[in-house]
Structure 1
Amino acid sequence: MAASSDALRLLRLSKVTTSLTRRNFSIQHACRALHTDITYDVVVVGSGCSGLTSAVVAAKHSLKVLVVEKTQYFGGTTAYSGGGAWIPVNKHQPSIGVQDSIDQADIYLHAVLGDLYDTKKVPAFLETGPEMVKWMEDNSTVRFKPVPLPDYHVAKKGASRGRTILTEKFDGRRLGPLIQNVRYPIQGYSAFGSMQADPAELSLLTNPFGSITNLTLATKKVLRYALDLIRYGKGTDMANGNALVGRLLFSAQQQGVELWNSSAATKPILDHGRVVGLHVVRGGKETMVYARRGVVLASGGFGRSEEANQFVPHEWCASPRGNTGDGKRIGVECGGALPPKNPSNAIFAPISLLSTSKGPVRRFPHFAIDRSKPGSIIVGPDGRRFANESEPYQEFVGTMHKKGIKKAYYIGDRTHLRKYGMGMALPWPYPIWRLLRQGYLISAPTIAALAEKIGVPVTNLEQTVSDHNSFAKTGVDTQYHRGENEYDSFYGDPQVQPNQNLQPCATGPFYALPIYPGNVSTVYGLITNKDAQVLDQKGVVVAGLYAVGCDQNNVFKGAYPGGGSSIGPGMTFGYRAGRKLAELSS
């Protein structure tokens, strides 16, 4: 009886043990499955051009890639931009008659950068940039096109044209539902909210009744936009930086890259000093996401953080609100080092502001397309000009800083506004009454009345406009030499002579647009090597960690050699990072 009882207890114990073993196996299996679901080869933080380039390159080399985007919208600052990339010796230059060379570009960069020249990273950029362009066009949906834009320092030795390449338009309908989560372009770079136009279309669209061709194009665009609104809730004819983002996202989709939006990377996961993953908050829940090969920081810099005022001498930044320095913070927590401050820690641009009854202040960066056109005048609080209105944006705002100008006024007459637009006020036939009512644009019948409205000395503004009009007649700006170099002329109007940047400001009503010194993104970030690997204070690689775009200290350290001097290096070092990650996996 006792033996039978013992046998029964042993049998029950065996069943319990078997059950626990099976249960433990099931738990372990579930954990392994969970671990597999949240383990990738590469995790990219941010979805601008540099991060997406890294993702596409890594995925094309058969790596499993995740992109985490903090905000609802993919695209970062790139989606706001003109989509140009500064890449010397690119494959498109010969098609516009330009013969470039690495030696010539290197001479130019030595002249522009001086002591800021990085002897390791600049040569790597010059060597790899053309390769990146070719690889992206051969292996992804990214397509560039040439433009004869001169370098920004045209008088420097080695300067050339065509080093800035633009992005071909993209049909956003190919993205499917993802198009709804692409960041909208800045107001003023699109009409009716999200109807975009390629620069090549602008002359036709701003003169819709000039010819049958113009009218046909304008009608087709408006009809397509109306249909897009019904189906997608926004325009899908993507141009400029939006087109670059659309092409990169479509390429990422094709390569199986997983895309998470509204997902914030909060802190790193470290294993004996190596970065092996990130804590990501998604849907209100924190998830541990592991990266077998590496983490790429591409969060767009810290232009919208409170910390930015320690690095940039003005308040207004036009980058997305989510750009608060997550990449820089995570990099430092992992042991990454920051360099001394650059002479300029941001890409500067004069900015106009639109305050609305609902939502945040909207910011418009005035790069060149409007203020460089003939008939524009920019004055300080004293009603006098202080710089060449057509000079590159980095230099223009640098002048505002040097002269202590915290607010200026962009002045134009009826002819200038209707033909070229002023910031968010688009050219005719786009209506401007709402912007006038909101106080974005100020109007008056005479220059004297306008001066009184904006609070500048009447006599000074009248004399400034009179001087400008006399310069327009002779074609010579004796004050600031506007229109005397190739860069100025590029953004002028060739139909206006004798100086395509000068035209009388004489036809009322007259308009004033307040502008402020601002920036579009920071360029100060983590120290990296030529493969975008983050380095510590001793110059040793932080294993498993990369930084690209505005999370990496820019290769030009705040200098700005030409249009797209952020996107060009961002994609180039993003390409190098993706390639390095692929090498590590082989």
Structure 2
Amino acid sequence: MSLSRLPHQARPSPSLLFKGSGVLAPITCCTYTQKRRASVQRQPPGYDVVVVGSGCAGLSAAIVAAKHGLKVLVAEKSNYFGGTTAFSFGGAWIPVNKYQKMLGIEDDVDKADTYVRRVLGDLYDEKNHKKMQAFLASAPEMVEWMEANSAMQFAPMPIPDYHVAKEGASVGRTVSVEAFDGRLLGRQTLRDVRYTLQGFHAFGSMQARPWDIPALTHPFGSWSNFHFATSKVVRYVVDVLRYGKGSELANGNAMVGRLLHSCQREGVELRKNAPVLRTVLDENGRVSGVVVGVNSQTGTTTTAAEEQIPVNKAVVLASGGFGRSDEARKYLPHEWSACPKHNVGDGLRIGRESGAAMPPPNPDNGIYAPISLLRKKTRDGGTQIRRYPHFSQDRTKPGAIIVGRDGRRFANESEPYQEFVKNMHAQGIDQAYLLADRTFLRKYGMGIGLPAPYPVRHLIRSGYLIEAPDLATLAGKIGVPADKLSETVAACNRYAVEGRDPEFHRGENAYDLMLGDPSTGLPNPTLGLCKSPPFYALPIYPGNVSTVYGLTTDENAQCLDKEGVPVPGLYAVGLDQNSVMRGTYPGGGSSIGPALTFGYRAALHIAGKI
């Protein structure tokens, strides 16, 4: 074992090393062993902190706690680390972050507070005020602490807030995370990082940042494009042979990779396939342990057992909410969720069983996004459904048109995903169609179908993409009135030429324009032509990528009982705590930003630093 891997308190003094030799003196070895044994004997059993779940909220809490000298276990229920974060773009909404100045943006806490007050409205009440103030104060501090003390490295994004017309809105409050070399994790941990959603990678696991996509889809456009694309593919092939998957991690996978690497460096124990079943409470009602499920394999027989683990300081619930549970339909006005299938509300159940309370539901209890579905037959004759959330990759690009069953548009295709699905809910639209032509499909892709040169014929054969030689035939295939569909497309083509959308004002604000494409040469970069056959339709449905309704917590992420008193030793972060945004969505990463921040604050509070 190298000295760098030893716990800080167990490392020998540099004065005990032979200078220039790089080895320990014999007497030092004996002394070190004796000290280590004594330290182990004095150490209390179990862990100081057990984190339930391995998304960004739980991993950030684990890193901060370990950095402050606490012994930490991360218990992940599934076979993969990363939770919902691994599926995301990895953006975090952090007002007053240090990167805004790089973009020439001056921001301040008062301005950010004004903005969230306008977005939340009556939801910004006295109970939420203290929590919001803690978030606004600690979020930029968290960014700087993480960059100084872990492998996390953020980057600026010139994205405007989602409600650009509201007082206090700004630009650059969303920060991204730098790509990460997954080889640093080691072969097994790299393989244990949750795969991205299909459509967010190529060839199975080759990932790319959004700004790399033009070079990958136009490899012969220039020498630099060709060099970049071929280098990336060659490395990917080598990675698959060596690791079984690509090692260049981007977006949410990069955030997970960086957090996992930091956990490894700080000595955090990472366990997968380790569902926390319940807490153990002492005679005073304090959380003093957890019971973890353990499966043992003997031949073809799996035996389920339980392990009780003492917890000396706190349990942090970070299990990812309940988006895939049967209970979700009670709080969400739609059926489909793109969060991991293991996110069924374990943290909320454990919290309530331990004495924590839940507040009244929020007006909106999820992060919404339109979702398309790829249905695939399984070997046993069943059907597997893969879910793809349409954030901004396709529907916001010029030439995309979304219609309801009547063949008419019903909203601005470029508006933020939360607001777009709320529009679907308000109008009772349970299914719509994303329409585009051949030029659009080859340039931007549609859902899981990637841009050229990547193949899409298999998606057409499966029925995911619907193809037709003309609009009348397409209308017949999707069951909408042919005359209405033709009128809608003709109107959109006219709007593209004129540069103005009189129906839904697409392209009239900074957010729309940022997601458009000025390379079309048309006057409005969000409006494009749909006229090159064949034509395509992709069914989309109102859905969500996570729940945001959770346990009642205070400004330090302590779980509160129904009287508003902290449950001793119990914290909830990420999607297991009720969102500080109360179901609203101020900007990109309005879930990940608070998740990282309250994970940070929870660990500081556990360590007695706040």
| Coarse TM-score class (shorter-chain normalised) | over 0.9
Task: Give the letter for the 2:582 counterpart.
Answer: K
- Please tell me whether residue 317 in structure 1 is matched to residue 328 in structure 2: no
Q: Equivalent of 1:135, from 140, 145, 167?
A: 145
Which of 129, 135, 153 pairs up with 1:125? 135
User: Residue 435 of structure 2: SS of its match in structure 1?
Assistant: strand
Does residue 166 (structure 1) correspond to residue 186 (structure 2)? The answer is: no
Instruction: Give the letter for the 1:51 counterpart.
Output: G
Query: Where do 1:75-86 residues align within 5 Å?
Result: 75-86=82-93
Name the residue aligned to 2:322.
302
Note if 1:256 corresponds to 2:267.
Answer: yes
Separation in 2, partners of 1:199, 1:63: 37
Structure-2 residue corresponding to 1:147:
157
One-letter amino acid of the counterpart of residue 144, structure 2: K
Instruction: State the one-letter code of the partner of 2:472.
Output: A
* Residues 335-376 of structure 1, C-alpha deviations (whole Å, 9 max, x = no match): 100000100000000000001112631000000121100000
- Matching residue of 2:30: none
1:60 aligns with 2:67: yes
Query: What corresponds to 2:357 in structure 1?
Result: 337
- Percent identical among aligned pairs is 60
Instruction: Please name the residue that 2:11 is paired with.
Output: none
Partner residue in 2 for 1:103: 110
1:494-527, CA deviations, whole angstroms, 9 ceiling, x for partnerless residues? 2232000001100011100000000000000000
1:367 alignment partner, SS class: coil
Of 174, 185, 201, which residue of structure 2 is paired with 1:175?
185
1:531 Cα deviation (Å)? 0.2
Unaligned runs of at least 5 residues, structure 2: 1-39, 296-303
Quick check: 1:493–1:500 contact (8 Å CA) kept in 2? yes
Q: 1:378 to 1:418 in 2, by over 3 A?
A: same
Q: Provide the alpha-carbon RMSD of the alignment.
A: 1.4
Q: Which SS does the other structure have where 1:149 is aligned?
A: coil
Task: Tell me which of 389, 392, 395 is aligned to 1:368.
Answer: 392
**Partner SS state of residue 419, structure 1:** helix
Q: CA deviation at 1:549?
A: 0.2
Determine if contact 1:38/1:288 at 8 Å carries over to the other structure.
no
Q: Any idea what SS the aligned residue of 1:330 has?
A: helix
Is contact 1:228-1:235 (8 Å) kept?
yes
2:373 to 342, 353, 359: 353
Residue 506 of structure 1: SS of its match in structure 2? coil
Give the letter for the 2:572 counterpart. Answer: A
Aligned to 1:21: none
SS in 1 for 2:340: coil
Whichever residue aligns with residue 530 of structure 2, its letter is C
Q: Equivalents in 2 of 1:564, 1:185: separation in Å?
A: 17
Q: 2:526 is matched with which residue: 492, 497, 501?
A: 501
Correspondent of 2:461 among 437, 441, 463 = 437
TM-score under structure 1 length normalisation: 0.93
Q: Which of 230, 252, 255 is residue 241 of structure 2 equivalent to?
A: 230
Q: Secondary structure at the match of 1:350?
A: strand
Match of residue 406 from structure 2: 382
Distance 1:41 1:51 in 2: 15
Deviation at 1:306, TM superposition (A): 0.1
2:291 matched to 1:267?
Answer: no
The alpha-carbon deviation at position 36 of structure 1 amounts to 7.2
Partner of 2:535: 510
Asked whether the 8 Å contact 1:296–1:546 carries over to 2, the reply is yes
Match in the other structure for 1:5 = none
Q: What amino acid sits opposite 1:147 in the alignment?
A: M
The residue type equivalent to 1:525 in the other structure is G
Offset, 1:115:
1.1
SS class of match (1:192): coil
Separation of aligned partners in 2, 1:207 and 1:107: 43
Q: 1:37: Cα distance to partner?
A: 9.2
Higher mean C-alpha deviation, range 63-72 or range 487-496:
487-496
Q: Structure 1 residue runs of 4+, over 4 Å off?
A: 33-38
1:521 aligned to 2:546? yes
Answer with 1 or 2: which has the greater Rg.
1
Structure 1 unaligned blocks of 5 or more: 1-32
Match runs of 1:418-567 below 5 Å: 418-496=442-520, 497-567=522-592
Query: Aligned-pair distance for 1:202?
Result: 1.3
Return 246-255 or 227-236, whichever deviates more. 227-236
Deviations 1:275-312 (A, max 9, x none): 11111002232100121010000000000000000000
Task: Name the CA distance, whole Å, in 1 between partners of 2:456 and 2:476.
Answer: 21
Give the Å deviation of 1:200. 2.1
Given the superposition, is the C-alpha separation of residues 481 and 34 from structure 1 closer, same or farther in structure 2, using an over 3 Å criterion? Answer: farther
C-alpha distance in 2 between matches for 1:301 and 1:439? 32
